[in-house]
Amino acid sequence: MCHSDTLPIRANVSRQFTFKNSFMKHLPFLLLISTTLLLSVRAIAQREYTTTNYTHELSPLKVSLTVIGIEDVLTPITAGLLVEGQLKDKIFYNVQFRQGYLRNFMISKSNLITTQKESKGTVFEAGIDLPFSDKIKPGKVKVTTSLGLSYDGNYLLEKYFKADCDVRKYWAFNGGILYYNRPEYINSDSAFYIISGNENIKAPKDQFTHFNQSTFGFYAGIVNRKIKKALVKNGGVSYGVYYSTKFYAQALIGNTSIGDIVFNNQPYRIDNSVQMPLGYRIGWQWDQNGVVTGFEFGKMPGVKLETPVERSQLSKIFAHNPFLNYLRVTFHFTLFNGDKRYGMNGR
């Protein structure tokens, strides 16, 4: 019984080794066939579209409408224009102007005990980028072939593919001028208050004082930008694509002036303001086919109010971060001569 039981096992083992040997014998041939098929599929996929790059053909004058600018956590909300361009493929410039159209709606006017006119808020900047490194590297770009709603209208359906393209990357020194006019509000819980002569002007509980300040100054720093601009042809259809991202870090220096206040129908000069001339900002900007979104934060040059503070109130001062005093978000839409279409007519 033992002898007869071992024969099928040996036969099975023999068949296993025979199959293994046969597989190993044909493995190189199978690998060759598989590699050929993969390369063929890849070649077919590459032939499905063609890419023509235009990363150096950027608009010398691009105008965008700023529909909303949140300048400092709702103080104020602005709108205006953003003008940008590339000159001789070596210099980039930008000019922006925004004017406030909506005051801080979190603070009711009836809660202001100072009654002088509130600043609407104005932002003006003009500067240039001077690249010191400008290179082209291979990359990918998203090409959207269709975009629409689902049958039930609850979902946005997008069909796209990724195409090979050039990516232009430059590092630049940048600098310029800035002007920023805005209101400053002081609530009743603040350790800071206005001193005029021998009079201390403090807001009662749940109320505010305010003053207007204007800063004129300069900025200088460094910029890193990535640009993708191409014409992708697929299935007889041409798709123009443009994407740009920009990161910047800048030092700020400026002088700030403040206006008088009106309290109990009498004008008062603010005597305890101290210049804070230095600041910084860090920001990002995305331009996706003409929709430009900006985000930045930092410390804007301005003034602070020097007030005698009791020891128990010191925590109130430290609660106000001395290294961060504003947060800005902006949304722009290209109106004229955008980078996506510049130099692409007839192509």
Residue 326 CA to residue 106 CA, distance in Å, equals 16
* Per-residue tokens: 45: 């996929």
Residue 288 CA to residue 80 CA, distance in Å, equals 19
Stated pTM of the model: 0.78
Residue 125, strand partner residues: 96, 178
Contact (CB, 8 A) for 292 and 82: yes
The single-letter code of the amino acid at 312 is: S
- 107-123: average pLDDT: 92
Digit-coded pLDDT (tens) for 4-48: 333 343 434 344 444 445 545 555 555 555 554 444 344 333 448
Provide the 8-state DSSP code for 47: T
Per-residue pLDDT for 345 more than 70? no
Provide the 8-state DSSP code for 300: -
Q: Which residues contact 249 (CB under 8 A, 6 or more apart)?
A: 221, 222, 280, 281, 282
What are the residue ranges spanned by the domains of the chain?
1-47, 51-336
Digit-coded pLDDT (tens) for 268-304: 999 999 999 999 999 999 998 889 999 999 999 999 8
Q: How far apart, in Å, do the first and last CA atoms of the chain sit? A: 86
Digit-coded pLDDT (tens) for 143-192: 888 878 777 767 778 788 888 999 999 999 999 999 999 999 998 888 88
Give the per-residue pLDDT at 321.
Answer: 60
Per-residue pLDDT for 75 more than 60? yes
Q: Which residues contact 17 (CB under 8 A, 6 or more apart)?
A: none
Which residue do the tokens 């709606």 mark? Answer: 105
* Per-residue tokens: 343: 């130099």
